[in-house]
Amino acid sequence: MVEHVLAETAEKRTGPRWPYYEEVSEALFGIDGFTRRCWEERHRTLAEQNFGLLDRWIMRGHTSGRYLAAVTRWLELPAAAPVRLPGLVVLDRALTDDGAKQVIDPESRSPDIGAHEIVRFAGGGARP
């Protein structure tokens, strides 16, 4: 399913979509609030495989603050440890290319997160 979505042409991407497209993509990649809880340290190899797909998705311009916050939360997990540093590079690229100053994290008590905070807490620091 993910490969099918990633292979879509530009024309198909502008066609009709689910109104909750962003939420569906998070679930497909396993980074939404529900499926993210299933990741365990023993899933490191799967996380490495998943990261390539996440990177491709972000490179296609899916850089909303909500999506990047979900990726950041996923990078915090022990399963994502092998891809945490490359993940920070991807997030930095997405934020720089998009000119984003903050990421909106709907799951946080303090939902407005400065872009510089992502590096700190995705790298294992304390949550803002």
Helical ranges in 60-101 per DSSP H: 65-75, 84-98
Per-residue confidence (pLDDT) for residue 18, from 0 to 100: 53
Distance from the Cα of residue 38 to its chain's centroid: 16
Per-residue confidence (pLDDT) for residue 23, from 0 to 100: 78
Segments of 11-120 assigned E as strands: 102-104, 112-114
User: Is the Cβ–Cβ distance between 40 and 78 less than 8 Å?
Assistant: yes
Per-residue confidence (pLDDT) for residue 98, from 0 to 100: 60
Q: Are strands 112-114 and 102-104 parallel, antiparallel or unpaired?
A: antiparallel
Distance from the Cα of residue 35 to its chain's centroid: 13
pTM above threshold 0.75: no
**Block mean pLDDT (10 aa), the chain, length 128:** 61 56 80 92 94 86 81 92 91 74 57 52 50
Q: What are phi and psi of 62, to 5 degrees?
A: -85, 80
Per-residue confidence (pLDDT) for residue 12, from 0 to 100: 58
In total, the chain counts a number of residues equal to 128
User: Is the Cβ–Cβ distance between 73 and 121 less than 8 Å?
Assistant: no
Please state the domain extents for the chain: 21-122
Per-residue confidence (pLDDT) for residue 16, from 0 to 100: 61
Per-residue confidence (pLDDT) for residue 128, from 0 to 100: 46
